[in-house]
Amino acid sequence: MSSKPAAESVIKPQQEKSAPVQEVSTWQNFKRLMRYSRAYKTGFIVAIFGMLGYAGIDTLFFSQLQPLIDDGLTGTNPNVMKWAPIFVVVCFIIRGICHFLGNYCLAWVGNNVVTDIRQSLFEHIMALPVAFHDTESTGTLISKLTFDTEQVLQATSKALLTLVQQGAMVIGFLAVMFYNSWQLSAIFLLITPIIALIVTFVSRRFRKVSKSIQNAMGEVTSAAEQTFNGHKVVLTFDGQQRESARFSQINKHNRQQRMKMVATKSASVPIIQIIASFALAFVLYVANLDSMRETLSPGVFITVITCMTMLLRPLKLLTTVNSDFQNGMAACVSIFAVLDQDKEKDTGIIPITKAQGKLTFKNVNFAYPGNEHNTLCDLNITANVGETIALVGRSGSGKSTTSSLLLRFYDATSGELLVDDHNIVDYQLKDLRKQFAYVSQQVVLFNDSLAKNIAYGKPEATQEEIIAAAKKAHVLEFADNLPQGLATNIGDNGALLSGGQRQRVAIARALLCDAPFLILDEATSALDTESERHIQDALIELQKNRTCIVIAHRLSTIENADKIIVMEQGKIIEQGDHKTLLKKEGAYAQLHRFQFGSAVE
């Protein structure tokens, strides 16, 4: 559902350039897909030759039935029978080589194309703005990356193999039939329009169903991912049954869609064969007429009937090729819709290696995309080099949003954010982000060694630098107890580490980056005192010589801040240092009383 706006925004730029079409046609999508195979042209050409060769040999083989029967078996030309065994073996050797080349080369091209598409999709998704990721579920994106790209592989190899090879075979067999007896062959052709009609109907249905299968598959991954991610919440709130019921519904829907596809596929083949059998029966009847009997030799008759029977298989395969192709095209549409999304824009031109550390918000207003109301209203904040600014306020008052603007995850709707007196949009985006170290309560760790996780923001760091950062952040204390110290792999999302340890890794990571600004989203919950003390020590170390924006949840940690900014519904309602604000007896004093009245210090 959420991919709809994506598809719409894709079409717009194309509309400006080309014909005023509402929807990108299957043909255009196919052409776009084919562009990916350009790099593998040679393989593609060899594959086509292999497929055509395979069909050619089959045609040649059956065209020799008539001389074999009329000249060879009846004994008028003994040479025919002498060469026949050699002919058969040579035919099958060439056929085998063609078969291998056709299949192998096509699969080579197809797999390369899919790898390329998957890579560019992955890179594109990473480069999309935060606003896109806010609206798109991770499950849907993963499904596009895995399932949809696999579907494209079907389109590029299997469908094309059938189309070219079986299509050529149909043409070849028809040619042999007409060459032998055009009258009998003409009868067979009478049924072609009927078959074509059925094929059209079936393919239309395939297209519709395969689209719903893709959506249904996305729903399955998305539902599963959501539940597995929130596994502990599900357990805590006894939600297994509810989740299982919800999943069962989605799962059932998926099955229904698949069964619809199977029903259409299974019905289409026998229907076509039954129609063909009528044609065959009619041919047998006509062949028995006196006028025909005189013109038909046994060889001609057997050849025509054999070719007709042989035609059924390619015809059958050709009806299913469309379903594969349509599957692939539906997947292409879904992939291209993401690829056509605009990447995060970077219009900044000023390079910056290390900022001095001054930060200013000037009349900043901000509304989330699609939101009518401003989440931040008229923010004016100044942080001088080395100062610590604390943002406090109730949950939802806009503290995290304020920090998101600094990293340019979103751009201010109006007003300016200045770093060292330059608007941040003028800086090159990569450079700008390097100026900030971000430590949040949700520490993201990668399935890699502890050292690599610490060096994530500075991969070129030396072992000594990593150790120094780890020491300052009190990481070494627990790293020494791990089997391989800093080289220990910490598992998926750092599963081996405790909450407090994870935060210390995040602090070490930030220390190593040595950025002039620090954004610190403090933990809401208190950790055990031992961890707490280490973290506080590490944080004090981290805040030294940096301009800091602290999103504070517990007021005890920010009493020494140079400026405390109290926010409510996106507005600054008070600002000043701890003592001044307490004296003022306003919102801050009230928050302070509330926390220290109820929380244990």
Q: Give the interface with ligand ADP as residue ranges (CB under 6 A).
A: 134, 368, 371, 375, 393, 395-401
CA–CA separation, 454 vs 134, rounded Å? Answer: 27
Written as six digits, the tokens of 388 are 């610590």
Nearer to ligand ADP, 37 or 400 (CB): 400
Q: Give the nearest distance from C-beta 219 to ligand ADP in angstroms.
A: 22
Nearer to ligand ADP, 58 or 521 (CB): 521
Nearer to ligand ADP, 108 or 368 (CB): 368
Written as six digits, the tokens of 228 are 């597995």
Q: Give the nearest distance from C-beta 13 to ligand ADP in angstroms.
A: 26
In sequence order, the 6+-apart residues with CB closer than 8 A to the CB of 288 are: none
Q: Give the nearest distance from C-beta 558 to ligand ADP in angstroms.
A: 15
Collapsing DSSP to helix, strand or coil, 334 comes out as helix
Q: Give the nearest distance from C-beta 144 to ligand ADP in angstroms.
A: 21
Q: Give the nearest distance from C-beta 135 to ligand ADP in angstroms.
A: 8
How does strand 359-366 pair with strand 376-383?
antiparallel
Nearer to ligand ADP, 391 or 511 (CB): 391
Q: Give the nearest distance from C-beta 400 to ligand ADP in angstroms.
A: 3
DSSP 503: H
Written as six digits, the tokens of 256 are 């229904």
CA–CA separation, 430 vs 435, rounded Å? Answer: 9
Nearer to ligand ADP, 214 or 388 (CB): 388
Nearer to ligand ADP, 249 or 590 (CB): 590
Q: What sign has the CA pseudo-torsion 305, 307, 313, 316?
A: negative
Nearer to ligand ADP, 70 or 136 (CB): 136
In sequence order, the 6+-apart residues with CB closer than 8 A to the CB of 168 are: 51, 52, 55, 56
- Identify the H or E element spanning 484: none
Assess contact for 178 and 185: CB atoms under 8 A.
Answer: yes
Nearer to ligand ADP, 13 or 369 (CB): 369
Residue 503's nearest CA partner among 485, 489, 524 is: 524
Collapsing DSSP to helix, strand or coil, 501 comes out as helix
Q: At 485, which amino acid appears? A: G
Q: Give the nearest distance from C-beta 572 to ligand ADP in angstroms.
A: 12
DSSP 105: H
Q: Give the nearest distance from C-beta 368 to ligand ADP in angstroms.
A: 3
Collapsing DSSP to helix, strand or coil, 408 comes out as coil
